[in-house]
């Protein structure tokens, strides 16, 4: 399934691009993510935990990141497995940063494949709404990271940004129902 998201960070392109080049820092901002190893040559091992109502999955996997500095763009190929539940995921994602008046616009286009028990949540509307919630939390964490840097705090100590404890399936369902009733998508 295809996922497209975009968001704006209230910082100049050069500052946001510098963050995107620092994969451990990006991982600390991503809800539920933990970088476990830098294998070199743009290959990283990590974990991603997600909870949808009573269903939770903890994916262990690997991602390969390639960046194009001239275009302020990148590509990520990733795969993971939830050893406890047997779910699998595969992701192919492109991202691009563009300077705008408000700061930097980040556009993400991804292709996600899910199999196993998590596939029951694989409807495009549920995945897109969940992605929107995760991206919203990611942006808040990025903004908090920049605020801490400006305040002179050491943001690379400890865990960094808080991780997702769970995404309420009820809140996702409510947003989807509201958008259907009102006949438009909810941001």
Phi and psi dihedrals of 126, rounded to 5? -70, -45
Q: Does 148 map to a domain?
A: yes
pLDDT confidence band for 165 (50 / 70 / 90): very low
Nearest to 47 by CA among 69, 62, 65: 62
Q: Does 187 map to a domain?
A: no
Q: Which residues contact 181 (CB under 8 A, 6 or more apart)?
A: none
Rounded to an integer, the average pLDDT of 122-130 is 72
Q: Does 86 map to a domain?
A: yes
What's the rounded Cα separation, in Å, for the pair 180 and 54?
24
Total count of domains within the chain: 1
pLDDT score, position 132: 79
- With 0.95 as the threshold, say if the pTM is over it: no
Picking from 79-83, 89-93, 175-179, which range would have the lowest pLDDT averaged per residue?
175-179
pLDDT tens track for 20-60: 999 999 999 988 899 999 999 999 999 998 876 567 889 99
Q: Which domain holds residue 70?
A: 2-182
Q: Does 153 map to a domain?
A: yes
pLDDT score, position 130: 76
The mean pLDDT of the chain is 82
pLDDT confidence band for 158 (50 / 70 / 90): very low
Beta bridge partner(s), residue 60 = 47, 81
| CATH code: domain of residue 35 | 3.30.530.20
Residue 167 is classified by DSSP as: B
What's the rounded Cα separation, in Å, for the pair 115 and 131?
17
């Amino acid at each position: 399934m295809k996922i497209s998201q975009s968001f704006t960070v209230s910082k100049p392109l050069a500052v946001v691009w510098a963050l995107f080049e620092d994969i451990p820092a990006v991982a600390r901002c991503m809800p539920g993510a933990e970088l476990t190893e830098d294998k070199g040559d743009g290959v990283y091992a990590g974990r991603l935990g997600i909870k949808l109502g009573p269903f939770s999955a903890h994916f262990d996997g690997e991602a390969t990141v390639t960046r194009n500095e001239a275009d302020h763009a990148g590509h990520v190929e990733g795969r993971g497995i939830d050893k406890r539940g047997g779910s699998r995921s595969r992701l192919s994602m492109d991202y691009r940063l563009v300077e705008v008046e408000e700061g930097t616009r980040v556009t993400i286009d991804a292709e996600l494949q899910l199999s196993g028990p998590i596939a029951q949540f694989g409807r495009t509307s549920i995945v897109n709404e969940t992605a929107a919630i995760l991206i919203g939390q990611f942006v808040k964490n990025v903004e908090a990271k920049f605020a801490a840097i400006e305040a002179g705090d050491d943001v690379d100590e400890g865990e960094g940004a808080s991780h997702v404890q769970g995404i309420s399936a009820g809140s996702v369902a409510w947003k989807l129902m509201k958008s259907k009733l009102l006949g438009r998508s909810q941001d």
